[in-house]
């Protein structure tokens, strides 16, 4: 290359423009040679396995460092099944990348299988691997040394309730948390504060304690006479309200004295005139301090507190002893207060629980939607089928691979006499849920010769079978259908009115029929469900997206 450039530069007789064109042409050719086409190779570690064993299929791509390579994903190796797709291994060699992608494959039926070509996308252009043949052998059984036994009947296996246990544990944890919070904030006997302890004292003891606290206050030292007299009168008025049972807090001075005199005259309160007169003078002084900004001497204020204390004591002593009826009324009153307090606690518990439920339902409704939450709470059967543990299995021969909410059970099917000469073997599997009207049926048929299946005739027979069971107004449409592995078939679908079992009622429903086949065999899948069941629609779509058939006998 260096010698060629040197020769071009030594072409003195050639014009500069021509020399430049030669140089560009040379560089373009060099770049073109450096960006060679990618090289695709594929191999398997073995072409012979036993049933259930695994083989490794490896794709190697030798491409430029700037190339964008997309390997196949998912179940693209049918009739072999993908067990695992390993991470891509990348190594650099000079100015190129060597990418290796390995897949672990298996098969559970014996026979010779063709591993289909795989599509590799490189910079938007498609490349294909070579197809390979894999032999799957059965496990040899020594029938001479080991006895043969009849096939055992089906046994019922309990469903896995792991998800239900998780939900129950979550609910239990939430209940425990709510219970702990309610105990701590509602039912727990909390230590009383000083204010609460004072409030629980009898009116007489509380009044004396509050007067003692007023004596130790700093109101008089700080010239806060208004606050001093306000507390002083509030203490005595509250005591009279609770112990003497007169409306003292809302009464003026004259009104209060008048009420006390009336109680005295009625023989309900034994107070002398001097005590009432002294009490009236203190109340009037307090009114002047509070409303006229009067300021008595400190000694006078202290004497007023002492006088009020004596008035409280005399009033308490002047009260007649409560009768037995009054004591019973007081006891009943205390019991009623206790009941009200208990009811208040339970009301708090109920409101807290209801609030938590409403908040939980509101949050779930916002996140999942109200209908989803309602169907979960009420236990919608279709939703349980959709969210439950599905079963993936193959049915019949040639096998039909389906993923369904529950396993399809083999049905006893009798081949009609007129078809016995044409049909070699007929296998039918079915599932029906009476609560959701969901029906799934898979049929695999082997013919006695290599004749092609007549899909239209068999579909007509299935429609007639639905009509014999009471279906009416069936609408039929046909479309081509291709599975994820590329197997082409026919999809027949529509709607109609289907008869409810053991009833004359008709419900609006939908159906789908998938038909596949080739020389000597036919495969069909029939699904029916309620038209307005959105969860059933999702079930059918999921079944259709996982449907796979094997078309090689």
DSSP code of residue 151: P
Please indicate whether residue 34 or residue 303 has the higher confidence score (pLDDT): 303
Q: Which of 320, 343, 372 is the last residue of a domain?
A: 320
Supply the pLDDT for residue 351. Answer: 80
DSSP β-ladder status, 54-64 and 81-85: unpaired
Supply the pLDDT for residue 32. Answer: 43
What confidence category does residue 288 fall into, taking pLDDT thresholds of 50, 70 and 90? very high
pLDDT digits (tens, 9 = 90+) for 142-181: 555 556 656 666 666 555 555 555 666 777 787 788 777 7
Asked whether residue 67 is assigned to any structural domain, the reply reads yes
Name the residue with tokens 């290359």: 1
pLDDT digits (tens, 9 = 90+) for 417-456: 777 778 888 889 999 888 888 999 999 888 888 888 888 8
Is the pLDDT at 294 greater than 70, yes or no?
Answer: yes
Same domain, 260 and 304: yes
pLDDT digits (tens, 9 = 90+) for 524-536: 999 999 888 888 8
For the chain, the farthest-separated pair of C-alpha atoms sits apart, in whole angstroms, at: 147
Same domain, 252 and 106: no
Give me the percent of the chain exceeding a pLDDT of 90. 16
What confidence category does residue 7 fall into, taking pLDDT thresholds of 50, 70 and 90? very low
Same domain, 8 and 54: no
Is the pLDDT at 256 greater than 60, yes or no?
Answer: yes
3-state SS, one letter per residue, for 383-432: HHHHHCCCEEEEECCCCEEEEECCCCEEECCCCCHHHCCCEEEEEEEEEE
Supply the pLDDT for residue 144. Answer: 56
Q: How far apart are alpha carbons 68 and 64 in whole angstroms?
A: 9
Q: How far apart are alpha carbons 255 and 236 in whole angstroms?
A: 15
Helices 298-318 & 225-239 angle (0-180, nearest 10): 0
Q: List the CATH number of the domain containing 65.
A: 2.60.40.10
- Rounded to the nearest 5 percent, the helix, strand and coil shares of the chain are 45, 25, 30
Q: Which of 299, 320, 341 is the last residue of a domain?
A: 320
Q: Return the minimum-mean-pLDDT range out of 9-18, 46-55, 117-126, 181-190.
A: 9-18
Residue 162: count of CB within 10 angstroms of its CB: 8
Q: How far apart are alpha carbons 13 and 457 in whole angstroms?
A: 85
- Residue (of 139, 134, 140, 69) closest to 105 by Cα position: 134
Q: List the CATH number of the domain containing 267.
A: 1.20.120
Same domain, 52 and 107: yes
Asked whether residue 265 is assigned to any structural domain, the reply reads yes
Please indicate whether residue 21 or residue 501 has the higher confidence score (pLDDT): 501
Supply the pLDDT for residue 16. Answer: 52
Asked whether residue 65 is assigned to any structural domain, the reply reads yes
pLDDT digits (tens, 9 = 90+) for 63-108: 888 888 888 887 788 888 888 899 988 888 877 888 999 999 998 8
What confidence category does residue 347 fall into, taking pLDDT thresholds of 50, 70 and 90? confident
What confidence category does residue 233 fall into, taking pLDDT thresholds of 50, 70 and 90? very high
What confidence category does residue 365 fall into, taking pLDDT thresholds of 50, 70 and 90? low
Asked whether residue 348 is assigned to any structural domain, the reply reads no
- Domain span at residue 451? 381-549
Q: How far is CA 244 from CA 258, 312, 319, in A?
A: 14, 10, 8
Same domain, 30 and 45: no
Q: How far apart are alpha carbons 487 and 480 in whole angstroms?
A: 11
Asked whether residue 358 is assigned to any structural domain, the reply reads no
Q: Return the minimum-mean-pLDDT range out of 199-203, 250-254, 464-468.
A: 199-203
Q: Return the minimum-mean-pLDDT range out of 16-30, 223-237, 452-466.
A: 16-30
pLDDT digits (tens, 9 = 90+) for 386-417: 888 898 888 888 888 899 998 999 888 777 77
Whether 373 and 364 have beta carbons less than 8 Å apart is answered as yes
DSSP β-ladder status, 132-137 and 48-50: parallel
If you average pLDDT over residues 328-347, what whole number do you get?
75
If you average pLDDT over residues 452-471, what whole number do you get?
86
Same domain, 499 and 426: yes
What confidence category does residue 229 fall into, taking pLDDT thresholds of 50, 70 and 90? very high
Number of domains within the chain: 4
Same domain, 273 and 307: yes
Supply the pLDDT for residue 24. Answer: 44
Same domain, 260 and 400: no
What confidence category does residue 492 fall into, taking pLDDT thresholds of 50, 70 and 90? very high
Q: Return the minimum-mean-pLDDT range out of 179-193, 257-271, 347-361.
A: 179-193
3-state SS, one letter per residue, for 166-191: HHHHHHHHHHHHHHHHHHHHHHCCCC
pTM, rounded to two decimals: 0.43
Asked whether residue 355 is assigned to any structural domain, the reply reads no
Same domain, 10 and 64: no
Supply the pLDDT for residue 448. Answer: 84
Supply the pLDDT for residue 115. Answer: 86
Same domain, 62 and 9: no
Same domain, 528 and 394: yes
Same domain, 114 and 68: yes
């Amino acid at each position: 290359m260096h010698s060629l450039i040197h020769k071009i530069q030594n072409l003195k007789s050639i014009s500069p423009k021509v020399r430049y064109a030669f140089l560009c042409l040379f560089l373009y050719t060099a770049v073109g040679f450096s960006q060679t086409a990618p090289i695709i190779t594929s191999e398997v570690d073995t072409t012979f396995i036993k049933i259930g064993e695994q083989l490794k299929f490896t794709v190697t791509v030798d491409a430029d460092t700037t190339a964008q390579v997309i390997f196949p994903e998912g179940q693209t190796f049918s009739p072999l099944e993908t067990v695992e797709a390993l991470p891509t291994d990348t190594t650099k060699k000079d100015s190129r990348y060597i990418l290796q992608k390995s897949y672990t494959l298996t098969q559970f039926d014996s026979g010779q299988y063709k591993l289909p070509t795989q599509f590799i996308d490189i910079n938007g252009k498609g490349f294909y691997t070579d197809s390979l043949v894999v032999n799957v052998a059965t496990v040899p059984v020594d029938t001479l040394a080991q006895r043969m036994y009849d096939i055992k009947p089906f046994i019922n296996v309990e469903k896995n309730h792991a998800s239900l246990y998780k939900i129950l544990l979550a609910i239990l944890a939430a209940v425990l948390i709510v219970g702990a919070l309610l105990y701590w904030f509602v039912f727990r006997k909390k230590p009383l504060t000083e204010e609460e302890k004072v409030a629980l004292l009898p009116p007489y003891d509380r009044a004396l304690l509050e007067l003692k606290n007023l004596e130790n206050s700093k109101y008089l030292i700080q010239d806060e006479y208004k606050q001093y007299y306000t507390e002083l009168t509030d203490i005595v008025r509250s005591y009279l309200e609770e112990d003497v049972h007169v409306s003292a807090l809302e009464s003026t001075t004259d009104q209060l004295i008048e009420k006390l005199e009336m109680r005295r005259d009625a023989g309900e309160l034994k107070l002398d005139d001097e005590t009432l007169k002294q009490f009236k003078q203190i109340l009037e002084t307090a009114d002047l301090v509070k409303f006229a900004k009067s300021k008595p001497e400190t000694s006078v204020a202290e004497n007023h507190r002492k006088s009020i204390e004596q008035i409280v004591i005399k009033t308490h002593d002047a009260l007649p002893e409560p009768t037995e009826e009054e004591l019973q009324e007081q006891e009943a009153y205390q019991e009623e207060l206790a009941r009200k307090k208990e009811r208040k606690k339970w009301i708090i518990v109920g409101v807290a629980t209801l609030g938590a439920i409403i908040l939980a339902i509101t949050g779930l409704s916002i996140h999942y939607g109200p209908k989803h939450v309602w169907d979960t709470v009420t236990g919608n059967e279709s939703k349980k089928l959709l969210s439950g543990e599905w079963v993936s299995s193959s049915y019949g021969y040639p096998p039909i691979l389906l993923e369904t909410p529950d396993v399809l059970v083999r049905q006893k099917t009798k081949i009609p006499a007129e078809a016995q000469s044409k049909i070699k073997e007929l296998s039918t599997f079915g599932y029906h849920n009476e609560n959701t009207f969901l029906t799934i049926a898979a049929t695999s048929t082997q013919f006695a010769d290599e004749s092609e299946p007549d899909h239209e005739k068999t579909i007509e027979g299935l429609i007639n079978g639905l009509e014999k069971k009471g279906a009416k107004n069936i609408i039929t449409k046909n479309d081509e259908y291709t599975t994820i592995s590329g197997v082409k078939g026919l999809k027949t679908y529509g709607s109609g009115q289907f008869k409810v079992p053991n009833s004359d009622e008709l419900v609006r429903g939908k159906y789908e029929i998938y038909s596949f086949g080739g020389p000597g065999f036919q495969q069909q899948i029939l699904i029916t469900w309620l038209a307005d069941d959105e969860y059933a629609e999702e079930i059918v779509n999921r079944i259709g997206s996982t449907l796979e058939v094997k078309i090689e006998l």
